[in-house]
Chain A
Amino acid sequence: MITHKIDKHTIYSYLEEVRDPEIPVLNVIDMGIVRDVILHDDDQVEIIITPTYSGCPAMDVISMNIRVMLSTLGFKKIKITEVLAPAWTTDWMTEEGKRKLKEYGIAPPNPKPQVCNEKLFAPNEAIQCPHCNSWHTHRVSEFGSTPCKALYVCDDCKEPFDYFKCH
């Protein structure tokens, strides 16, 4: 049995291989959805995760991928526990994750306190174009291809891009 030699730290490094199916540059650690890894005495490994959006279909795939990854490591008893509180926000995303998003062409979320207000007809958030770094951009649609994104277009390089909205 190799499982006895695997410590928490190693499991974390393997979790970095589990990616978001919708945004494959991000792994589950970057996204900040892994809350804890617990190695129980009876060889059971428990991963505590939290969902991003309530209805995000990627969550089911992610749980399954974590399970598959742990099985290939030799774990027989795997438990994936989903906790809702404290609720996930984009502030849980790592700086590394934000960097990868930008490189991938998705503008990373602004820090939460800066935006996310309830005011009606609020002016667009200032979002930096991930392609040419211009701040001269505007929002095309508040909703995009996945629950976590909004659509923007850059007024300088004219490229459209996704913005991972603050949540």
Chain B
Amino acid sequence: MVTQSTNQLINYTLHLADDTLILGHRNSEWCGHGPVLEQDIAITNISLDLIGQARNFYQYAAKLINKSSQTPSLGEGKGEVSEDTLAYLRDNREFKNCLLVEQPNGDWAKTILRQFLFSSYQFYLYQQLQNSSDGQLAAIAEKSLKEVTYHLRWSSEWVIRSGDGTEESHQRMLNAIDELWMYTGELFEAASYELQAASYEIGINLASIKSKWEEKVKEIFNEATLPYPGKVFMQTGGKEGRHTEHLGYILAELQFMQRAYPNSEW
């Protein structure tokens, strides 16, 4: 018998896992293509951190699912759910990541802006999640926060360097803001499982971190001589499984091996 709260905890954990897996995968696409070697290493190390966080969340979600009687549709997967089945055998509509993290890399400006917008959100999210009434989520948040602090510092520096750089780098940052800003509203719009998780004090209250995030972004944009965007129509739906076309392409690449050769191992 799955209680309502377990169900929400599973969905909430999967949402946190999907955000980190998808952004980790996106960043990993830079491997071997970074503008300079040091930054190629930096972005792929950030990938590694994010995928590591995803593994912690998926392992926990798998444990919760196996303990409960709930068996979400997992393709051909029979029996026990694992971190791998959750990453490799769920379909597009089952992924609960926000739209921001699935957006294509574009140029370096777009990639670092995406990282900055997400890292600053994650920084305040994990700060609060450390106080979760769920011990494991609190532990993962505490562990991950140190890594995210590093990502935030790195991406903030790059936003400033590029925004306040040359005419071209400034223009590229402006383009990146145009392309990504419409996906930032979703970060603070709670999905049903987030509201539930917050009411059980498992998850955090997104409204409580929104103004901190805005302040942070304003501070860095100001330093970077970039304008803070006015009100625009915000795209939402990713957290409820309604994604942009891009997620399908990511999953096609990410899941190909397990779909084509089920249960294959290294």
Nearest neighbor of A117 in chain B, beta-carbon distance: B153
Within 8 A of B (CB), among A135-154: 140-145, 147, 151
Nearest-CB distance from A84 to chain B (Å)? 4
Are A120 and B157 within 8 A (Cβ)?
yes
The answer for the CA separation of A121 and B158 in the assembled complex, in Å, is 10
Are A85 and B153 within 8 A (Cβ)?
no
The answer for the CA separation of A129 and B55 in the assembled complex, in Å, is 36
Stretch at the interface among B2-10, B45-53, B189-197: B45-53
Residues of B within 8 A of A55 (CB): 48-53, 55
Are A54 and B153 within 8 A (Cβ)?
no
Choose among A51, A86, A89, A147 the residue that contacts B48 (Cβ–Cβ < 8 A): A147
Are B52 and A143 within 8 A (Cβ)?
no
Q: How many residues of B contact A (CB 8 A)?
A: 30
The answer for the CA separation of A121 and B45 in the assembled complex, in Å, is 19
Nearest neighbor of B147 in chain A, beta-carbon distance: A54
Is A6 part of the binding interface, using a Cβ–Cβ cutoff of 8 Å?
Answer: no
Residues of A within 8 A of B125 (CB): none
Is B108 part of the binding interface, using a Cβ–Cβ cutoff of 8 Å?
Answer: no
Within 8 A of B (CB), among A119-167: 119-121, 140-145, 147, 151, 167
Interface 1/0s, chain B 137-151, versus A by CB < 8 A?
011101110110100
Nearest-CB distance from A56 to chain B (Å)? 7
Residues of A within 8 A of B154 (CB): 142
The answer for the CA separation of A86 and B152 in the assembled complex, in Å, is 22
Residues of B within 8 A of A56 (CB): 48, 52
Contact status of A167 and B157, CB under 8 A, knowing A53-B52, A143-B42: no
Is B41 part of the binding interface, using a Cβ–Cβ cutoff of 8 Å?
Answer: yes
Nearest neighbor of A50 in chain B, beta-carbon distance: B143
Is B156 part of the binding interface, using a Cβ–Cβ cutoff of 8 Å?
Answer: yes
Interface 1/0s, chain B 41-76, versus A by CB < 8 A?
110010011111101100000000000000000000
Is A83 part of the binding interface, using a Cβ–Cβ cutoff of 8 Å?
Answer: yes
Are B38 and A84 within 8 A (Cβ)?
no
Nearest neighbor of A119 in chain B, beta-carbon distance: B153
The answer for the CA separation of A85 and B135 in the assembled complex, in Å, is 9
Is B31 part of the binding interface, using a Cβ–Cβ cutoff of 8 Å?
Answer: no
Residues of A within 8 A of B56 (CB): 54, 84
Interface 1/0s, chain B 117-147, versus A by CB < 8 A?
0000000000000000001101110111011
Is B180 part of the binding interface, using a Cβ–Cβ cutoff of 8 Å?
Answer: no
Is B160 part of the binding interface, using a Cβ–Cβ cutoff of 8 Å?
Answer: yes
Are B53 and A84 within 8 A (Cβ)?
no
Nearest-CB distance from B128 to chain A (Å)? 16
Residues of B within 8 A of A151 (CB): 38
Are B139 and A143 within 8 A (Cβ)?
no
Are A87 and B153 within 8 A (Cβ)?
no
The answer for the CA separation of A54 and B141 in the assembled complex, in Å, is 11
The answer for the CA separation of A87 and B136 in the assembled complex, in Å, is 12
The answer for the CA separation of A120 and B144 in the assembled complex, in Å, is 20
Choose among A85, A86, A120, A142 the residue that contacts B156 (Cβ–Cβ < 8 A): A120
Nearest-CB distance from B139 to chain A (Å)? 4
Contact status of A53 and B41, CB under 8 A, knowing A84-B56, A87-B142, A147-B49: no
Contact status of A54 and B42, CB under 8 A, knowing A120-B160, A121-B157, A142-B154: no
The answer for the CA separation of A162 and B78 in the assembled complex, in Å, is 45
Are A87 and B156 within 8 A (Cβ)?
no
Are A140 and B38 within 8 A (Cβ)?
yes
Are B41 and A87 within 8 A (Cβ)?
no
13 pairs across A/B with beta carbons < 8 Å? A53-B147, A56-B48, A83-B139, A84-B143, A85-B138, A85-B143, A86-B142, A87-B143, A121-B157, A143-B38, A143-B42, A147-B49, A167-B146
